[in-house]
Amino acid sequence: MSAASERFAPAPGLGNPHLQTLWGPLWRKTTHIARQRERLWLEDGDFLDLDWYGPHSAEAPLVLVLHGLTGSSNSPYVAGLQQALDRQGWASAALNWRGCSGEPNLLPRSYHSGVSEDLAAALAHLRARRPLAPLFAVGYSLGGNVLLKHLGETGSSSQLQGAVAVSVPFRLDQCADRIGQGFSKFYQAHFMRQLVAYVRNKQRQFLHDGRHEGLATLAALGPLENMRTFWDFDGRVTAPLHGFSDAADYYRRASSRYFLADISTPTLVIQAADDPFVFPHSLPEPGELSTSTQFELHARGGHVGFVDGTLRCPGYYLERRIPDWLASLGRG
């Protein structure tokens, strides 16, 4: 566990992990940036949408930014990081996972915490678009889990010069249990509403478009009522749609903790000990990490929070730390 060049201290009044977690979605002012959207067509006939920002230089460093569960490129932490990267002359592309860009995707399948094949497709596309640019990736929560899994799967062939993962649910089974405890049930209920709405919205679109085969696949999942936990949703929806035998099989095969030892890309992991989504025992032990991985554990910060400064003038630690660490790879 390494010390950061700047230790995070929460803003006075925001020491509680839930206030840290909720600040961005509830109270952060919107970051307005004009981005260019590009549609990436996948080999299975589906698509991912990328939102580009920053310099259009062939050699400017390029960062792929990966959002979390039920988020999008419009999530405050995504737009905030893209703006911060632009200030140091770096380009970025924010990936919207399937069905997360404001338009349902075209297949019954969607996205999940282990969908590293879609990440690999996006990275290959960026490498082809800007072959001279140093390429990096930053993932938050679900996006961080997918990123670490990809890094472990690909080893020295990751296509990345560096990576950062934030607030990672290293053990999906344990995190599914953690979010069902105490106040965290609030987040669980929110995610369940969003995930069920995601499927229902797709059903409506398939009906409108006459995609009868897709409709039949979704109908075979059964009723969408009474799904209160991640174990419910992932067992009844995620697993059958994506080739897993059940929720436990999905959690076992998609949890990034099992891939950490094989990472060879320079990687920074930023985690808070008070993350309300993650048990302390879900965090990897030092011996599980590869020598290329730097693990930065803060006492506070919540889940994708890390809000410092003051309530009148909040600061965002991640938007200083991440660009600085990525730039240090070149300086080193």
Catalytic residue IDs: 141, 275, 303
Nearest-angstrom CA–CA distance, 275 and 79: 22
Nearest-angstrom CA–CA distance, 132 and 5: 30
3-state helix, strand, coil in the chain (%, to 5): 45, 15, 40
**Of 93, 86, 99, which is closest to residue 64 (Cα–Cα)?**
93
Contacts of 312 (CB under 8 A, 6+ apart): none
Give the per-residue SS3 of 44-71: CCCEEEEEEECCCCCCCCEEEEECCCCC
Q: Are 201 and 252 in contact (CB under 8 A)?
A: no
Q: Are 165 and 144 in contact (CB under 8 A)?
A: yes
Which helix (H) or strand (E) segment holds residue 162: the answer is strand 162-166
Q: What are phi and psi of 266, to 5 degrees?
A: -55, 120
Which helix (H) or strand (E) segment holds residue 163: the answer is strand 162-166
Return the structure tokens found at 288. Answer: 């599980």
Local structure of 207: helix, strand or coil: helix
Nearest-angstrom CA–CA distance, 291 and 140: 22
Return the structure tokens found at 108. Answer: 């019954």
**Of 305, 253, 249, 312, which is closest to residue 274 (Cα–Cα)?**
305
**Of 18, 11, 15, which is closest to residue 190 (Cα–Cα)?**
18
